[in-house]
Chain A
Amino acid sequence: MRISCPHCGERALDEFSYLGDASVTRPDPAAADAADAFYTYAYERRNIAGPTQELWYHQAGCHAWLVVTRDTRTHEISDVKAAQDVALERVNSTTGAA
């Protein structure tokens, strides 16, 4: 498995460290159901067999957080984006919708 960092190009797996599911967002701590929402956020996992979006950190490279789209059944990587760009897209799409 090799990951193509958008900043550094294709690099070996041992330059990266893994965090997990990139599709979840931190719940609002002021919400009425915050305790339940934080339990789900912190402890439950979708644990999908198939393509997933996950956060990887380019620890031995540019120190960027990346959103990697990877199939957990085959380890095939179909897309890598900077996490910052993904986060901005999300913010823009929510503000656009509002």
Chain B
Amino acid sequence: MPSDRYSIFSVLTEALRGQTGWKPAWRKATPKPNYDVVIVGGGGHGLAAAYYLAKRYGLSNVAVIEKGWIGSGNVGRNTTIVRSNYMLPGNIPFYETSMKLWEGLEQDLNYNAMVSQRGVLNLYHSDGQRDAYVRRGNAMRMHGVDAELLDRDAVQRMYPWLNYDNARFPIKGGLLQRRGGTVRHDAVAWGYARGADQHGVDIIENTEVTGFRITNGRIEGVETSRGFVGARKVGLACAGNSSRVASMAGLNLPLESHVLQAFVTEGIKPFIDGVVTFGAGHFYISQSDKGGLVFGGDLDGYNSYAQRGNLPVVEDVIEGGMALMPRIGRVRLLRSWGGIMDMSMDGSPIIDHTPISGLYLNGGWCYGGFKATPAAGLCFAHLIARNEPHAVARAYRLDRFRTGHMVDEKGMGNQPNLH
């Protein structure tokens, strides 16, 4: 009997019969002529939405159509950090829903996503920054999210080797969310793909959506590189390329696509056991279970679809790292790469109807999409199935820029490269 469910018994059984019983984690589906729901984009969000549509909302006649292969986009290009340390009312309940889903994800999916709640520590370097973190921490605690304000001594006990006495940016303390951490990003895509497949979802890889069939303002399906696929409802989950895909339906979105670079060093022995962010520049770092230091910083700052960035930002990120932890200077950089972000006009995402009946949008994730994956999938599934927003995603409306109901954590306004 093939091993459908992963457990200690399936591992032992397979060990005894020479690993011959494992099945592919999902079928290679061919498109059917019609579906109840087609999700465009087989990244984390699209797969999660399909999974929750089938599992929680009882819609199993669902297809996920992906241009490349599963997880070939941003879900496999991020720095794997999960956290819910947001401040604004529209954001905290959503990201905390996501954090709670992360906490039960592996049991729910029966898949090892290496969820590791190793703590996310945001450092502060001035009195003003401490006050801002006190406010943020209090906002989190009022919403039932864990947050601890640490003084310099407490941070020093955790990470004695940081550069505390940098003349310009001394470390004065930090805001710690212990429940934050990292998750194996590829495994999230694979786990959701397997879970969705087990609930009957067709995952159609290497198939590009090339257009939408819209009649009298209502979606009827998608044109693909493998022909027309009919659908009563279509959900777009292709952040990074939302504008390109939505433009095929005649929509102009409040988004710009920007490149964000990330970096990984050669593998070294255990060194940083949590996630640390530098508050004076923009630099965040953690260590993968393979030993590489994974870090990133600011956007390059100009519109891009190129999935690679330029040297000034490489220099800036590494300078931030050297200011914070000079001892990483002797580690060699192994790889750097870029991911394309949907940058919205207030730094917050969009999960909403579009003006076209039956066409829904999940996009604008800026660079917070990975941590949001479970809740984004759940809320997008809720929206598609019930035709109304999930309670924790009501703020993420597409028309909020017109009505003035922005959710702007950083207060930067409509200059997306500053969010």
Residues of A bordering B, CB below 8 Å: 1, 12-14, 17-18, 20, 39-40, 42-47, 49, 52, 54, 70, 72-75
Contacts and interface: CB of A to CB of B under 8 A. Distances in A.
Interface in B221-257: 241, 243-244, 252-257
Contacts of B312: 12-14
A67 to B, nearest CB: 14
Contact of A20 (B243, B303, B304, B306): B303
A45 B417 contact: no
B273 to A, nearest CB: 34
Contacts of A52: 303
Contact of A39 (B241, B302, B303, B401): B401
B402 A72 contact: no
A12 B45 CA distance: 37
B301 interface: yes
A52 to B, nearest CB: 7
B414 interface: yes
Contact of A44 (B253, B302, B303): B253
A20 B256 CA distance: 9
B302 A43 contact: no
A45 B306 contact: no
A14 B254 CA distance: 27
B310 A45 contact: no
A85 B226 CA distance: 48
B254 A44 contact: yes
Contacts of B62: none
Given A13-B310, A75-B306, 8 more contacts: A18-B417, A40-B252, A43-B402, A44-B252, A44-B254, A45-B255, A45-B256, A47-B243
Given A72-B306, A74-B306, A75-B304, A42 B253 contact: no
B257 A72 contact: yes
Binding site secondary structure of chain B: mixed
A43 B243 CA distance: 13
Interface string B275-313: 000000000000000000000000001111110001110
A70 B324 CA distance: 35
Contacts, number: 62
B303 to A, nearest CB: 5
B62 to A, nearest CB: 28
Contacts of A17: 301
A49 B342 CA distance: 13
A80 to B, nearest CB: 14
Contacts of A18: 301-302, 417
Interface in B250-271: 252-257
Nearest to B311: A13
B243 A54 contact: no
B87 interface: no
Given A75-B306, A75-B310, A45 B243 contact: yes
Nearest to A40: B252
B310 A47 contact: no
A40 B319 CA distance: 38
B345 interface: yes
Interface string B330-364: 00000000000000010000000000000000000
B172 to A, nearest CB: 29
A39 B402 contact: yes
Among B255, B305, B401, B417, the one with the most A-chain Cβ atoms within 10 Å of its Cβ is B305
A5 to B, nearest CB: 16
A54 B301 CA distance: 12
A61 to B, nearest CB: 14
Contacts of A46: 243, 252
A45 B254 contact: yes
Contacts of B311: 13
Contacts of A43: 254, 345, 401-402, 414
A93 to B, nearest CB: 25
A47 B306 contact: no
A73 B305 contact: yes
B214 to A, nearest CB: 19
A24 B304 CA distance: 18
Contacts of B417: 18
Contacts of B303: 20, 47, 52, 54, 72
A22 B257 CA distance: 16
